Amino acid sequence: MKKVGQKDRLCPCGSGKLYSQCCGAPAQVICLDQYRWRRTGRQLRRKLGEFADQPSFAGEAARAQQIYLDCLDPELVDRDDDFTMERCFEWFIFDYKIAGGATLIETFRREPGLTDKEIVLLDEWSRARVSLYEVMRVLPEKGVLIKDLFNKSRLTVFDVNAAREIQPGSVLLMRVLRVGDEFEFSTNGLALPAFCKEVLMSRVKRDLQAFCRRRRMSSREGLNIYLHERSHMLNAMVVELGLDYTMPHLVEGELAGEEDGRTDGAGPVMDKLSAQIAQRITDAFLDEYYDKWIDRPLPALGGRTPRQACGTAEGGARVEELLRELERVEAIREKKGEPHYDVQKVRRKLGLSGGETAGQAGEPEADAVNTEDLHWTDKKHTEVARRVVEDLNRRGYNSRQVTGAIRLWHDYCDQARPSLRKSDVWTATVVYAMARLESDHNISQQALAAQYKVAASSVSTNFRAICRELDLVAFDRRYSTRKSPLAGLKEADPVLAQILENLKL
């Protein structure tokens, strides 16, 4: 049987052409008409930006910015960075509805003096929605072949930078714009590693279903409306997921496969990563996901959280049904040899099996810390320690967690010798630092700032100062009761353990 070479196969972009006549064709000749489309597209982007930046839209822009940024956790995202503001401005142009119910791009479409090509592009672009895409293939020095995770359509986006930076399997949150016979990304987008796909899509589909139920339409009918009206919320979901759980790039030496002459990024450590570490990362990822899930209102529970529902026999039975469904999903993954999760841990979080809270099972309680037994160089430092103990006790933290918080504060005072005018802001800071170490997402900077009547920015600044001074890392063994998902990795893979164990808090 004759083996068909790559250049003789149909192009994977879905055009129906041979690879050698499509994406595999030498880029020596540029179609003049397509060149004009590209130039028109660049000019139109500039005109759109200038139009949206007019003083007459300043009030609308401020409201849009507040809506967009309020969806983002300020503990995870710097709201003033250029990347965030660029994406916010793009959302303002394409999805935000100004007074009268039209978007900026639809309003601009009515402007006089537009060329025929500009009108064609504006008609196409005004229908373009942000969506989630999976990278199926990277076309070196050309672009990427992507698949829409909602409608399964495939298309090739010509973007040299994307081809250099994005890995196959990555999940992208992007808006794709047609420019003539080609496609381009609207602006900088967000990329998540492949292992985030299932959890992200599960969360987004639940949100889509809830949205469509409120509109009394099917998910298929409501998808386009959902992507238009909830794009800022979709962005927030991806940002939260990405900044909480993405792993660092492994790009040097042995990690990139250079030690044995391989340049495809499939070095020995990367081979081990896919099998050996995937389960550990899945466990850590879903531990934190379900920490949030049990306190999240669910339509399936009549708007109650799983924890609230477990307060009644009927609610507990409904939660148990949900958990059994989750177990069926995880059993399928396990059977396929994929990373899976022990749903019994969720039952223990909810007290359905008499288990203990995550991070505490099987661990003896330490003696309660006595702040007076420690040496403090300043009476105000002692006052902060006392108030931290009171705060954490009220929140139900156990003695080991309280002890970890006081050790953290004592170590910081011993090294940095902070000068305190008021104890409020530092009390809030230490409580927040312990919440981060314990992955307690019920405590936020904003809530603490309101409680102690201080500025959230002051809590953030002080927290970063503690992180720098003590060189805090995730699952820091000096203070946290949470067990690192990398435990035992040093013996199995010391090189990878060295890289992953120093993830900053």
Can you tell me the mean pLDDT for 35-46? 93
DSSP 103: B
pLDDT in tens, 183-229: 999 988 888 888 788 888 988 999 999 999 999 999 999 999 999 99
Q: pLDDT-based confidence at 487, cuts 50/70/90?
A: low
Angstrom distance (rounded) from CA 459 to CA 427 = 9
Do 78 and 182 sit in the same domain of this protein?
A: yes
The answer for 335, left when phi > 0, alpha when psi is -120 to 50, beta otherwise, is: alpha
Angstrom distance (rounded) from CA 121 to CA 125 = 6
Residue 470 near residue 412 (C-beta atoms within 8 A): yes
Look at residue 232 in the predicted model and tell me its pLDDT: 93
Look at residue 351 in the predicted model and tell me its pLDDT: 81
Can you tell me which residue has the tokens 């953290």?
Answer: 408
Angstrom distance (rounded) from CA 85 to CA 204 = 23
Percent above pLDDT 90 for the chain: 35
Please identify, among 184, 214, 244, the residue that sits at the C-terminal boundary of a domain. 214
Please identify, among 170, 196, 214, the residue that sits at the C-terminal boundary of a domain. 214
User: Does a structural domain hold residue 2?
Assistant: yes
* Least confident residue range of 271-275, 377-381, 383-387, 431-435: 271-275
Angstrom distance (rounded) from CA 297 to CA 306 = 7
Look at residue 16 in the predicted model and tell me its pLDDT: 65
CATH of the domain at 394: 1.10.472.10
User: Does a structural domain hold residue 42?
Assistant: yes
Percent above pLDDT 70 for the chain: 76
Do 53 and 182 sit in the same domain of this protein?
A: yes
User: Does a structural domain hold residue 342?
Assistant: no
CA angle 409, 412, 416 (to 5 degrees): 145
Look at residue 367 in the predicted model and tell me its pLDDT: 46
Do 104 and 45 sit in the same domain of this protein?
A: yes
Q: What's the mean pLDDT when you consider all of the chain? A: 79
Do 424 and 450 sit in the same domain of this protein?
A: yes
Nearest to 162 by CA among 145, 180, 181, 179: 145
Q: pLDDT-based confidence at 482, cuts 50/70/90?
A: confident
User: Does a structural domain hold residue 354?
Assistant: no
* Least confident residue range of 70-79, 88-97, 174-183, 449-458: 70-79
Domain that holds residue 11: 1-30
pLDDT in tens, 287-296: 877 888 888 8
Do 61 and 168 sit in the same domain of this protein?
A: yes
Tokens standing for 434?
Answer: 């312990």
Do 142 and 199 sit in the same domain of this protein?
A: yes
Residue 103 near residue 96 (C-beta atoms within 8 A): yes
User: Does a structural domain hold residue 459?
Assistant: yes
pLDDT in tens, 149-179: 999 999 999 988 888 888 899 999 999 999 9
Residue 392 near residue 402 (C-beta atoms within 8 A): yes
User: Does a structural domain hold residue 448?
Assistant: yes
The number of domains in the chain is: 3
| Residue 237: half-sphere exposure toward Cβ, Cα within 13 Å | 22
* Least confident residue range of 58-62, 162-166, 303-307: 162-166
pTM (whole model) above 0.75: no
pLDDT at 357 over 80: no
Do 451 and 418 sit in the same domain of this protein?
A: yes
pLDDT in tens, 334-356: 877 777 888 888 888 888 754 33
Angstrom distance (rounded) from CA 166 to CA 253 = 20
- How many C-beta atoms surround the C-beta of residue 95 within 10 A? 23
First-residue to last-residue Cα distance in the chain: 57
Do 57 and 10 sit in the same domain of this protein?
A: no
* Residue with more model confidence, 36 or 245: 36
Do 20 and 130 sit in the same domain of this protein?
A: no
